[in-house]
Amino acid sequence: MKLCIASLGIFLAAGLPSVKGYGAFTVSQFSAGATPHSSIGYVELSWSTGKNETKCSARPGTYQSFPSVGKTACSAPSTAFSLTKREDGGADLALFLGNAQAVHTITKDQIIWTNQQSPTGTVQVYAGPQNFTAERV
């Protein structure tokens, strides 16, 4: 039993973040969408918990429509994010820090079609606020 407790202490000291005391996750500079005349989309954001800060980005394959991104590592250790489109036309942005998770719901009216005058360049992009709070779940 002593060996097990000592091993746990070493494991925790090795860099896994303690998530005790984290509340909401603060997101800044969020942008996402499809790229005109391309089959690659983009998702970029920074977020912090007040104790840690990280930057995340992905270039998912998509053509004209708002992208989804599976769980993807961010710049800081033990951090990740995902972006999942919902059937109602919105999306969920999930943020992960160790075993803590926060989610922000993107409503369907925040995902718009742009460049309506040029049909070949029409794409879906996020048009909501760039800075917001994702609540811990």
For residue range 70-113, list pLDDT tens digits in order. 999 999 999 999 999 999 999 999 999 999 999 999 999 999 99
Query: What are 130's two structure tokens?
Result: 């760039």
Give the closest residue to 30 by CA, choosing from 42, 46, 41: 46
Does 7 score more than 50 pLDDT? no
Q: What single letter denotes the amino acid at residue 111?
A: I
* pLDDT, average across residues 112-133: 87
Does 10 score more than 80 pLDDT? no
- Looking at residue 83, what is its pLDDT? 98
**Does residue 14 or residue 51 have the better pLDDT?**
51
The rounded distance, in Å, linking the Cα atoms of 100 and 137 is 8
pTM value > 0.95: no
% of the chain beyond a pLDDT of 70 = 80
The rounded distance, in Å, linking the Cα atoms of 32 and 119 is 20
Query: What are 91's two structure tokens?
Result: 């999306």
* pLDDT, average across residues 48-70: 94
